[in-house]
Chains A and B, each alone.
Chain A
Amino acid sequence: MFTKKAIDLIIELRSTDSIPHYNDGSIKATIDEIIALYEDLIKTITEHKEQKKEPYYLTHAITFHNSINRDKRCILAYLNERLNRIKEFRWSSGQSLLPDLLKEKLSQNEIQFFSDYDKILTEYNSKVGLDLTVDPQPPKELYIEVRVIKELGEVVLNSGCTVNLNLNTTHFLKRSDITTLVKNGSLEHIL
Chain B
Amino acid sequence: MIAEHVAFGIIAAVMVASALRVVTARDIVHAALYLVIVLAGVAALFLLVGAEFTGITQVLIYIGAVIVLFLFGIMLTRSDFDQDGETDHKRKLPAILTALLLLAVMIGALVDRFGDDRLDPTPQTTAQVSDELFSQYIVPFEAVSVLLLAALIGAIVIARREQGG
User: Does chain A bind chain B?
Assistant: no
Chain A interface residues (CB < 8 Å from chain B): none
Chain B interface residues (CB < 8 Å from chain A): none
